[in-house]
Amino acid sequence: MIGDISVNICPVCGMFVVPKLKRGGCSKKYCSEKCRTKAANKRFSVANPGRRKEINKEWSLRNVEKERTRKRKYAHDHREQESIRHKMWRDKNREYVNSRNRKYTKTNKEQRRLNDEKRRAAKNGCENKLTKSEWLEILSKHEYKCAKCGTQERISLDHIIPLSKGGTHSADNVQPLCISCNCKKYNKIEVVAQSAVSVSR
């Protein structure tokens, strides 16, 4: 009560409700139409959880860009919580995640290889510029063969100057080598003669 006028407190936002000067004091429960709508939506969601999910899904399908922007903003503002949530989901659905990863690796071998090398480059704090199109162009110019022995079996991405020695993950520092030649090279700086390929920019 303020003076001789009884007032309500909005149950949604906690603000004082502007009283209507009628007999009996304040007749309004919410401070604004926005709060009244929020309260009504909450009551509906509690009473009809299934229908609320359907409505939200329909809205998301009609407003794809808005939903994408909203999710990105939420993920950016709640990075730690999202990281924990994703980890819990992956742990709970380990079999599905492994199956999805195997399927992706099978259909996107070169992209998977590049992703692994990018992570390794980032871990070593190296410059990371190589794109998938550049790597595919290098492979094409070598006819998808090992630059050293010429085999087409188990081709891998090799850094001419190893990342551990300050090399970059870029088109001018990679060459295709088979797993065997790559292992023999190890972390030596070795430029294979026929691997000097300039990638068009």
Kindly report the CA angle at 184 between 180 and 190, in degrees rounded to 5? 115
Q: How far apart are CA 36 and CA 72, in angstroms?
A: 28
Please state the rounded mean pLDDT for residues 94-100: 94
* 178: exposed, middle or buried (Cβ count in 10 Å: 0-12, 13-18, 19+): buried
Q: pLDDT tens across 156-199, in order?
A: 999 998 888 888 888 889 999 999 999 998 888 877 644 444 44
Q: What is the pLDDT of residues 56-74, one digit of tens each?
A: 999 999 999 999 999 999 9
- Considering only residues 11 and 68, tell me which one the structure prediction assigns the higher pLDDT: 68
Q: Rounded distance, CA 92 to CA 136, Å? A: 36
Domains in the chain, ordered, with CATH? 9-17+29-62 (no CATH), 132-185 (1.10.30.50)
Residue partners of 130: CB distance under 8 A and separation at least 6: 114, 117, 118, 169, 170, 171, 174
Prediction pTM value:
0.50
